[in-house]
């Protein structure tokens, strides 16, 4: 893993950890708040319902108070008052499921307006679905002076067993308990809606946090991409400048070596050659002939001429003096002539000039000469060609160097993409890119054309700068 990937992970992992921690904390805190809200709302609802039930029971006892407070003269009158009181309570209701019920303190049903079949039955031992004894719990609350009881009872409107909150008070003189109740499904529905809204708010908050996290990740990714692209471009520009400096250093070193060979070693070898020729002339004019010495001097002169010729060839290959003295065309013509003589291949050269052409800089001359040198060397070494042609076209806008040969050809795409091949071609392209030039290449069996074009208006001033 490279340094950039490590830095990216160091930026992303803590950010994701912080977002995950925030999301977990917000969710847990929201759940605690929702539970607290649920408990508070439930207590408030139950408290309001309890007050409502107490109010209803107070109304009921107030309605039968004139009958309950009248002292009865005998048992018959008391029984009549009780019947009238039951009749009053039966007629009182508050909605389809709101009614009053009356039991004696032993669990016998005296009045039930919604379930008349229960009247007169002893319900003391009746059990609910979970084994509870609702009538006994109601009787115990009434015996304590009144109170609230939660139990399960049939709901008249639905016919199902549902939780109910009841409130009862005693009528001690008659031995009754009077009460009413409300079913808690409405309360549970309201609380469920509140819980649902709280859960939706929690999910919405978490989604916002996730959206913010994604936006943050996007910003980090974009910044990393921009930084990476910027660094890549900067590194690429630095690499190109370095390559240009290397090429310029190579050209300068080649020029220096060429001058040293031409002006130093070559001159000394010419001086030695002249001395040997002078010695050979004196030896030939002397009266005493020494055949062995003459042979040795002749051999030395021949080898010295070969060495001098090789030194001059190396000096010309490093940096032809004609390129600096007479220009690119003369240097290319000399290059084609020398390679044609050495390789035995017919290599021609032609030049096309136009009026008002811009002068070419040394950098353009060097790049085009090196491209021609590399291209012709490839022809001689690899193409198996019998004929090649080099042409130079100079106009006011650009200079174009073209090379043609009738060799065996090659795969252009593989030459550029191959890891081992095409180094010379890639070097040509890189040299031209530094001059804003272009390289085009077409090759097939018996026909290969290489074209290098450099715009003079852009290339020369750029290299001069």
Convert the pLDDT of each residue in 3-50 to its tens digit.
Answer: 667 776 777 788 788 888 888 888 888 888 888 888 888 888 888 889
Averaged pLDDT for residues 414-427: 69
pLDDT above 60 for 461: no
Domains and CATH numbers, the chain: 3-183 (3.30.450.20), 326-464 (3.30.565.10)
Select, from the ranges 109-113, 224-228, 267-271, 411-415, the one with the highest average predicted confidence (pLDDT): 109-113
Predicted pLDDT of residue 89: 92
Q: Are 358 and 395 in contact (CB under 8 A)?
A: no
d(C-alpha 407, C-alpha 159), whole Å: 103
The rounded mean pLDDT for the chain is 83
Of 62-66, 270-274, 401-405, which range is least confident? 270-274
Whose structure tokens read 């010495």? Answer: 293
Q: Provide the β-strand partners of residue 443.
A: 448
Averaged pLDDT for residues 260-273: 77
Of 231-240, 387-396, 456-465, which range is least confident? 456-465
CA dihedral sign of residues 252, 256, 262, 263: positive
Averaged pLDDT for residues 107-133: 90
CA 347 to chain centre: 56
Whose structure tokens read 């009266």? Answer: 287
Q: Are 235 and 228 in contact (CB under 8 A)?
A: no
Query: 457 falls in which pLDDT band (50, 70, 90)?
Result: low
Cβ contacts of 112 within 8 Å, gap of 6 or more:
99, 101, 102, 118, 119
Averaged pLDDT for residues 319-333: 77
d(C-alpha 334, C-alpha 351), whole Å: 13
Nearest to 143 by CA among 180, 103, 110: 103
Degrees (nearest 5) of the Cα angle 417, 418, 423?
Answer: 90
CA dihedral sign of residues 322, 324, 330, 333: positive
Predicted pLDDT of residue 465: 29
pTM for this prediction: 0.47
Cβ contacts of 431 within 8 Å, gap of 6 or more:
247, 367, 370, 371
Cβ contacts of 207 within 8 Å, gap of 6 or more:
none
pLDDT above 80 for 108: yes
């Amino acid at each position: 893993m490279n340094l950039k990937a490590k830095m990216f992970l160091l930026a992303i992992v803590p950010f994701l950890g912080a977002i995950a921690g925030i999301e977990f904390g917000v969710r847990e805190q929201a759940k605690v708040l929702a539970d607290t809200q649920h408990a508070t709302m439930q207590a408030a609802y139950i408290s309001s319902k309890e007050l409502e039930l107490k109010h209803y029971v107070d109304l009921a006892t107030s309605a039968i108070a004139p009958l309950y407070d009248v002292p009865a003269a005998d048992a018959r009158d008391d029984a009549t008052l009780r019947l009238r009181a039951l009749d009053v309570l039966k007629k009182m209701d508050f909605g389809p499921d709101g009614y009053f019920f009356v039991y004696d303190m032993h669990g016998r049903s005296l009045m039930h307006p919604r379930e008349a079949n229960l009247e007169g039955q002893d319900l003391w031992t009746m059990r609910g679905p979970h084994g509870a004894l609702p009538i006994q719990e109601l009787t115990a609350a009434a015996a304590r002076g009144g109170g609230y009881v939660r139990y399960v009872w049939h709901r008249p409107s639905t016919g199902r067993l549902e939780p109910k909150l009841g409130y009862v008070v005693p009528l001690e003189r008659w031995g009754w308990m009077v009460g009413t109740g409300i079913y808690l499904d409405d309360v549970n529905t309201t609380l469920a809606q509140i819980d649902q809204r709280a859960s939706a708010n929690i999910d919405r908050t978490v989604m916002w946090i996730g959206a913010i996290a994604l936006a943050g990740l996007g910003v980090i990714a974009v910044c990393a991409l921009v930084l990476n692209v910027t660094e890549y471009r900067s590194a690429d520009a630095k690499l190109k400048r370095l390559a240009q400096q290397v090429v310029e250093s190579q050209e300068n070193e080649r020029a220096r070596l060429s001058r040293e060979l031409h002006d130093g070693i070559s001159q000394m070898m010419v001086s030695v050659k002249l001395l040997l020729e002078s010695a050979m002339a004196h030896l030939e004019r002397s009266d005493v002939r020494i055949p062995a010495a003459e042979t040795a001097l002749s051999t030395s002169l021949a080898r010295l001429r070969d060495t001098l010729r090789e030194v001059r060839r190396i000096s010309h290959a490093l940096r032809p003096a004609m390129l600096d003295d007479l220009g690119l065309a003369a240097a290319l013509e000399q290059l084609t002539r020398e390679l044609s003589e050495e390789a035995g291949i017919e290599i021609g050269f032609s030049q096309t000039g136009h009026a008002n052409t811009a002068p070419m800089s040394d950098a353009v001359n060097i790049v085009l000469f090196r491209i021609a040198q590399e291209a012709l060397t490839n022809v001689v070494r690899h193409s198996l060609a019998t004929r090649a042609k080099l042409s130079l076209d100079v106009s006011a806008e650009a200079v174009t160097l073209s090379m043609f040969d009738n060799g065996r050809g090659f795969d252009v795409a593989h030459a550029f993409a191959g890891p081992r091949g095409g180094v010379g071609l890639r070097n040509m392209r890189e040299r031209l890119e530094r001059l804003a030039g272009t390289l085009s290449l077409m090759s097939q069996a018996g026909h290969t054309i290489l074209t290098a074009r450099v715009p003079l208006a852009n290339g020369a001033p750029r290299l001069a700068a």
